[in-house]
Amino acid sequence: MQFFLQQCLIGITNGALVALVALGYTMVYGIIRLINFAHGDLIMLGACLALTLVSAFGLAGGGMVTTWCGVVLLVLLCGLFCGGLNVAVDRIVYRPLRNAPKLAPLVSAIGVSFIFMNIGLFWLGPADRSFPELLPAANLLAGDGLQFTAKDLLVLVVVIPLMVALSLLVKSTRLGKAMRAVSQDPTAAALVGIDVDRVIAFTFFVGGFLGGAASVIYGLYINTISFQMGFQNGLYAFTAAVLGGIGSIPGAVVGGLVIGLVRSLSSAYVGERWTGAIVFVILIVILVFRPEGLLGRGTKEKV
């Protein structure tokens, strides 16, 4: 039982991280129906910046307060960096393609992902790089049983407020309303006076900001970054977004948690070697029975 709980705990923490990345996919998809293949690699660049900042300011080895302040600052800086980068990419690459055939931006996104990877290769070098352990590894739970460290706590502490803030933003603000309007029908949104390009740019910024935050958490939680990390990150996050119902914010969260749990439980009870297959078998089965994802809404056919 304790073993099961431990695996669930790991699954939830991992899943929260996946969900944070998945939000970046789902937001961009929700608004311009683009699978942003470059999102994983954007996060990789965020992690590069985080590593550079941590080394430059010697954050490792500071006191408790310094460390947590440093982490918050890192999240902000990397968030701004990734958000800005995402907006720039949207402006330069995707905006000219708004009226192009549907798959053209997809290929552009793949192209951007390759360019990011090359930048990461020069930034980090070809090998895996160790991200300093800023947080103590001590177990926060009493006793010898369950393991829950400051790192795990960090993931939940950062991810949950960000998600809540995001839902509030989309649900209750003017800008959020505009985002939903553009998502439903860009032409109609433009007709009622919404600056569609600005709303899209803002969405890219928010998605990128969440990605930047995810990159810091990723570095602190997994402690290894490499120029190839974007791919696997993106794969699971994208899967999570679709599983939950792409375009749906709570869906991305649920999808992320499901993926995290499936991964840890299949590693524990079936074997690590089958994990990759089991995640996707479950995905396929769920989609066969719920074609719009767990929380997605059915799209109406236009006649």
Least distance in angstroms from the C-beta of 15 to other proteins: 12
Least distance in angstroms from the C-beta of 272 to other proteins: 5
Instruction: Give residue for tokens 């977004």.
Output: 241
Q: What is the DSSP letter of 291?
A: T
Least distance in angstroms from the C-beta of 192 to other proteins: 23
CB-side exposure of 215: number of CA atoms within 13 Å? 38
Least distance in angstroms from the C-beta of 49 to other proteins: 18
Amino acid in the structure at residue 247: G
Tokens (6 digits) for 97:
């393609």
Closest to other proteins by CB, 55 or 173 = 55
Closest to other proteins by CB, 29 or 209 = 29
Decide if 246 contacts 293 (C-beta within 8 A).
Answer: yes
Amino acid in the structure at residue 133: E
Closest to other proteins by CB, 89 or 163 = 89
Helices 64-89 & 39-57, crossing angle to 10 degrees? Answer: 140
Task: Look at strands 129-130 and 224-225 and give their pairing.
Answer: antiparallel
Least distance in angstroms from the C-beta of 263 to other proteins: 7
Closest to other proteins by CB, 103 or 174 = 103
Q: How far is CA 30 from the centre of its chain?
A: 15
Closest to other proteins by CB, 183 or 233 = 233
